[in-house]
Each structure stands twice: as C-alpha cells, then as structure tokens.
Structure 1
C-alpha cells in the first residue's frame, strides 16, 4: 500500500512540472511585453490610498450640530402653530394626550407640546424636547441637536457647568433635576435634564414654561 501511494504523487509531480514551467515562461514573456506599465500602477496605487482619508466624513456628517436655543430645537420653533410643527417634524400625536406629539430620531426621541387648553387659535408650540435613555447614552458621544456651546444628550454635567457657569439647578419630582442654562428675551429657556447622583444629561428642552413638566401626559 505504501508503494502505491508514492507512485501517484511522483506522476503528479512530473505532470505538473511542465505546466509550471510553461506558466513561468508565459509570465516572463508577459513581463517583457509590458514595458513601463508598473510605474503608472504604483502612481495609481498611491493616489487610491489617499481616497480613504475622506472616509471619516460620513461619521462627521452624522455628528450633531448646533440646533438648541431658547427659541426652539432644530426646525421646531416655540410659538409656531402646533399642527404645522408636528407635520413638519414628522411627529405623531399621542392618542391619549392630543396636545403632545412624538417622533423617533437617530438615537433619541423628539417631543412637541402645546397647552392642553389653549387660549390661542391655532394653538402654538410651548415646548420642544429631545431625550434618550441614560443607559443608551453611557460611554457614547453626544447625540441629537446641540447648543451653540456643544452641549446635548450624552454630555456630562461638569461639561455643561464649565461652559454655563451661571446655570441654575432646579429640583423636580423625586431625583429628577433640571439645569437652566440659557434664556432668551421674548422667547423661552433651555433646560438640561439629568438624574441626581449621576452626571449624564439625558434630556434637552426649550420651552416658554417656567420649567419642563415632570409628566406631560399623566
């Protein structure tokens, strides 16, 4: 049995050897037939290697941009007709509380609110908010719209206090806390929401109210 096994291998080597020699010969001839083609190939390779450098741009484009101010958040401005704002934002009214509308965005939730009983016709937006779960924000960069100073969902409390040294802490129900950071004359105020004992900002609100309500739809 051992003798039979070695013989086929020897035959295979003898059969492949001429083929291998022919392949080498063909490769050499091909190399001679292509005079200076390797030079442009190297140049093209170097040029192509520079192409990946702009690749971080998609992630940069998804980075949140300034969009929070006392007049609103993103494209939703305080004082605009509620129905128009909801439609423009693609939000969905909450069936149990028609004065609220919500919409899912990339990593956060958008909430638009009008007064439950409005003195104006049409009713106008008095609160717009973005929020996310603190657990989902842990250890990640900020998501959603940012203030002009770069603070948003996922920012740390000490970061906010560093750029807003005059911010005022507002206690709410239980362990919820608001940090009032900015007020605009004739518009509204910006509040950052966090939980006492932690430092992750999980809510950003622009509103004409004195402070964000603990529950808008009880």
Structure 2
C-alpha cells in the first residue's frame, strides 16, 4: 500500500470513530429524555404500585336499652327486647327492673318515673306458653309517641288515627269485645293493635299480642 492509501485509510478510521462517538451521545440523550416533541412528557410505562383498598368497618346495631323503654321499637314480633313467645323468665331477665306481683305472677309491670306511661308483658295465666301480650299505655293525655315505645314508622302513644292510617293503609278497624274502645289492627289478628278510647282520636295504648285482641284486664 502506498503512502496516499495509508493516509486515506487512517482518515476513514478516524471518521468512523468520531461517528460512533456522536451516535453514542445521541442514544444516551434519547434514553435520558422521554419528553415528546412540543415539551409534553411521554407517559411512563412503569406500572404504579397497587393501592390497597381500605377494609370496611361495620358498627353493630345497638341492642335495646332495658332501662329506657321510650327508645324501644314496636314490631309484630315484640317490643324492644321482649319478644312474643319468649319464656316468661327469660323475658324478665331482659328487663330486671320490671316488677312481678305474687297475685299476678304471670305478668311483669313497668311504670315511667314521671307517671305518664305504664307497660306490662304477660303470658296466658290459664295456658302458659311464653309471652302472649306486650302492652304500653298512656296515663295522661299529654303523652306523645317519643315518650314510649313506637313502631319503625314513628307511630305510638299520642298518634292520631289519621297518622296510623297514613303509616298503615291496610289497618283494619274493629271494636273491642269488652268495653267501648276502638282498635286499629295492623297485620293479621295477633299482631299490633292501636287502641282509641271512646270519643278520642289519639292512641291510648299499643299492644302486641298473639290473641285475637288485647286483653281487657291482665290480672283479673
């Protein structure tokens, strides 16, 4: 190889080395800068760390306060913690402050400290088979539903017949067998009864019973 050829080969090798170096710089710049034309960053392909969802917490439904019957709910199966069909002694254990008299041992009584509301639950004295009647009654005309147990719809002592019918369109009216009270029955016989004394349009008693109607008296 002559001198000119050697010089040309040397220049070609130098040019190739410079080109390789420039290419490496360009590639490095591309790898470090992911900004798209116009200055908008390209979305990263790196997946985000999964976000753990919070575990839901549940609050238990509070049980009826045995010492506060005014907060109890009346339903077709019972009143507050007292349920139809429950063993009498088991029901008494739910409300230890209620009293039982020797002369009426099948009945437990409660009276509001203010003397405005009275209540009882009883089994059938002739055929004891668990709690058969739970009754709440007003002792004054000033009682309102919030003073005593009431239904989930807010109906209780002091509610009007119009309010009862509005809450329970299928309520059936019947006359008490004994006495002159008018009854509004919700559901089939043996469920919830709202009692209206003669000449009155407000509920004077709320009764849940397995009987065909609320008993006229419980200890007679």
Residue 176 (str. 1) matches residue 178 (str. 2):
no
Q: Closer, same or farther in 2 for the Cα pair 1:153/1:141, shift >3 Å?
A: closer
Give the secondary structure class of the aligned counterpart of 1:102. strand
What is the count of residue pairs matched by the alignment? 149
Determine whether 1:111 maps to 2:129.
Answer: no
Distance 1:63 1:102 in 2: 12
C-alpha deviation, 1:117, in angstroms: 2.5
Task: Please identify the structure whose Cα radius of gyration is greater.
Answer: 2
- Superposed displacement of residue 196, structure 1: 2.3
Deviation at 1:190, TM superposition (A): 0.5
TM-score by length of 2: 0.61
Gaps of 5+ in 1: 1-61
Q: Report if the CA contact (8 A) 1:181-1:190 is conserved.
A: yes
Relative to structure 1, the CA distance from residue 69 to residue 183 in structure 2 (aligned partners, 3 Å threshold; closer, same or farther) is farther
- State the shift of 1:142 in Å: 3.7
In the TM superposition, residue 146 of structure 1 has moved relative to its aligned partner by: 1.2
1:174-207 Cα deviation digits (max 9, x unpaired): 32121101349xxx50001111221110111111
Tell which has more relative contact order, 1 or 2 (C-alpha 8 A, sep 6+): 1
Distance in 2 (alpha carbons) for counterparts of 1:150 and 1:91: 24
Deviations 1:78-104 (A, max 9, x none): 111101212321211133222111012
Which structure 2 residues correspond to residues 54-203 of structure 1 after superposition, within 5 A? Answer: 64-65=70-71, 67-89=73-95, 90-105=97-112, 107-118=116-127, 123-137=129-143, 140=144, 142-172=146-176, 173-183=178-188, 188-203=190-205
Report the CA distance shift for 1:66/1:91 in structure 2 as closer, same or farther (over 3 A).
closer
Ranges of 4+ aligned residues in structure 1 off by more than 4 Å: 62-66
CA deviations on 1:15-60 (whole Å, 9 max, x unpaired) are xxxxxxxxxxxxxxxxxxxxxxxxxxxxxxxxxxxxxxxxxxxxxx
Higher normalized helix content (fraction of residues): 1
SS in 2 for 1:205: strand
Instruction: Please give the root-mean-square deviation of Cα atoms over the aligned residues, in Å.
Output: 2.3
TM-score by length of 1: 0.61
